[in-house]
Amino acid sequence: MRNISSFFRSVVKALAFITVFSLGVTTFAQAQDVKAGEALFKANCTTCHKLNARLVGPALAGVNDRHDAEWLHKWIKNSQAMVQAGDEKAVALFNEYKSVMTPFPTLKDDDITNILAYIKAEGDKKPDAAAGGAGGATGAAAANDNVSSFMLVGLIVVIALAFLVIVVLNRVIRTLEKVILKNKDLKVDDEEEDGKPGKDYAGRLKKLAKNKKLVFFAVLMVGGLLTSLGWKDLWNVGVHTNYQPVQPIKFSHQLHAGVNQIECQYCHSGAFKSKNASIPSANICMNCHKGVTGSEQYGGETSPEIAKIYRALDWDPKTQAYGNNPKPIEWVRIHNLPDFAYFNHSQHVSVAGVKCQTCHGPVETMETVYQYSPLTMKWCVNCHQVTEVNHKDNAYYDQLIAAHDKLKKGEKVTAAMLGGLECGKCHY
């Protein structure tokens, strides 16, 4: 008797273990796909696409339902080839948007599958998050939070299923044991024998609470859940995504970079040629605001916000003359890496050709700028892992390739060939 019972118990254990394990593995694998897809999407697609709003191209939420996978793979690799080949859907899309989508011949099939998985996971979730300024802030937060909450939901589902499996299998064991005992004409040790089976729920709960294995399992799961929540929180210490301080002047990027289409470069020229993007001095504002006083809205008076620029420069709009008591405008810094991390804008903007928006989000729609990316090391490293280097017309990479060719031919490579004679390598 005991033998049969313990045999069933071990089968139950094995089954429960396999269920938990396989569910765990599949949710983990899916999370990985979505995560890789998110990084690729942000690096390659966000300049032209949002999930739930039209940008340069259409909103991509639900695109998996609009086209089949094969079509999407072909389209993303080279949309114009499909347009030229006369594919009906492709031609219709192109005629609607009249803008050429960048071809991505270097994306592998797996990459595209991951991007589509990300679009599906995220697009199904938040139909309203991507709209406009403040909405954009939540959208960015959702994107960053997406993977961990996805895994959390997966974990809870796994726990619930495992619990169910255990309860069901426990019942199966009992029934089988009963059948065996009956066959042997032995007394059945079960209160459910006399009369109504399964009505005494309180009694059953008490019995469940006495089941040590079950209690241990529950405690383990709750403990695991709390630990993973705490772990997640700990990782977010010092991460300031969505940080949006109030600035001394209500300067709107949406108005300047969005509506008036002033290039980022006009005010942040440093981003293209140096480490720091730099914040423009008030003199740059005066290129326009000597004349633009925002007067229409203020009945001929100078806008109080623009008056702050005049005050900072000690400029008198009546006499059109500068005084000699200027004070700097104390903008509140939003993005701030710790001192031990080195980040260079020109390397990313000029050399790698990364768009400002890839890292800073849709600044041109922000009334007040907020921190869009987490600026964690993981964030830097994830992008470095998926972004291909643009080595064309780049003397540094030409040198590397030349050195590589020499090594292949068995020739010598000197430190000088790798740039060891450049003044900057030894002198600050």
Q: Are 358 and 283 in contact (CB under 8 A)?
A: no
Examine residue 133 and tell whether it contacts ligand HEC (CB under 6 A). no
**Cβ density class 60-77: b for 16+ within 10 Å, e for less:** bbebbeebeeeebebbbb
Count of chain residues binding ligand HEC (CB under 6 A): 96
Amino acid at 306: I
Of 175 and 283, which CB lies nearer to ligand HEC in the complex structure?
283
Please state, as a whole number, how many other Cβ atoms lie within 10 Å of the Cβ of residue 369: 21
Determine the Cα–Cα distance for residues 175 and 4; give it in Å rounded to an integer.
Answer: 13
Contacting ligand HEC within 92-131 (CB under 6 A): 93-94, 97, 99-102, 104, 115
Could you give the string, one character per residue 266-295, with x where binding to ligand HEC holds by CB under 6 A and - elsewhere?
xxx--x----xxxxx---xx-xxx--x-x-
The candidate with the shortest Cα–Cα distance to 328, out of 393, 249, 385, is: 249
| 130 closest CA partner among 61, 72, 45, 67 | 61
Tokens of 99: 């803008």
CB of 362 to ligand HEC, least distance (A): 8
Instruction: For residue 286, count other CB atoms closer than 10 A to its CB.
Output: 16
Quote the least distance from Cβ 210 to ligand HEC, whole Å: 54
Pair of tokens at residue 240: 């300031």
Q: Between 129 and 282, whose beta carbon lies closer to ligand HEC?
A: 282
Q: Which is nearer to ligand HEC, 169 or 356 (CB)?
A: 356
The Cα–Cα gap between 98 and 88 comes to 15
Q: How far apart are CA 356 and CA 361, in angstroms?
A: 7
Nearest C-alpha neighbor of 333 from the set 412, 237, 245: 245
Q: Which is nearer to ligand HEC, 192 or 305 (CB)?
A: 305
Answer for which of 57, 133, 154, 326 binds ligand HEC (CB under 6 A) is 57
Give the C-alpha separation, 422 to 404, whole Å. 19
Distance (Å, whole) CA 278 – CA 346: 12
Q: Give the residue with the Cβ less far from ligand HEC, 321 or 426.
A: 426
Site for ligand HEC in 63-92 (CB under 6 A): 63, 66-67, 72, 75-76, 79
String marking each residue 15-54 x if it binds ligand HEC according to CB under 6 A:
----------------------------xxx-xxx-----
Site for ligand HEC in 391-420 (CB under 6 A): 420
Least distance between ligand HEC and beta carbon 4 (Å): 57
Is residue 45 within 8 A of residue 115, CB to CB? The reply is yes
Which of 129, 359, 365, 374: binder of ligand HEC (CB under 6 A)?
Answer: 359
Does residue 356 interact with ligand HEC by CB under 6 A? yes
CB of 27 or CB of 382, closer to ligand HEC: 382
Query: Minimal distance in Å, beta carbon 272 to ligand HEC?
Result: 6
Please tell me the number of Cα atoms within 13 Å of 383 on its side-chain side. Answer: 16
Residue 166 or 271 having the CB closest to ligand HEC? 271
Identify which of residues 158 and 375 has a Cβ nearer to ligand HEC in the complex: 375
- The residue from 237, 246, 321, 423 that contacts ligand HEC (CB under 6 A) is 423
Among residues 214, 262, 400, 403, which is the contact residue for ligand HEC, using CB under 6 A? Answer: 262
Is there binding between residue 240 and ligand HEC (CB under 6 A)?
Answer: no
**Tokens standing for 148?**
């961990």
Identity (one letter) of the amino acid at 326?
A: P
Smaller CB separation from ligand HEC, 16 or 334: 334
Residue of the chain from 5, 12, 33, 58 that contacts ligand HEC (CB under 6 A): 58
Q: What is the residue type of 28?
A: F
270 in Cβ contact with 278 (< 8 Å):
yes
Q: Which of 82, 120, 369, 374 binds ligand HEC (CB under 6 A)?
A: 369
Contacts of 402 (CB under 8 A, 6+ apart): 417
In the range 176-205, which residues lie near ligand HEC by CB under 6 A?
none
Q: Give, as ranges, the residues between 217 and 236 that touch ligand HEC (CB under 6 A).
A: none
387 binding ligand HEC? (CB under 6 A)? yes
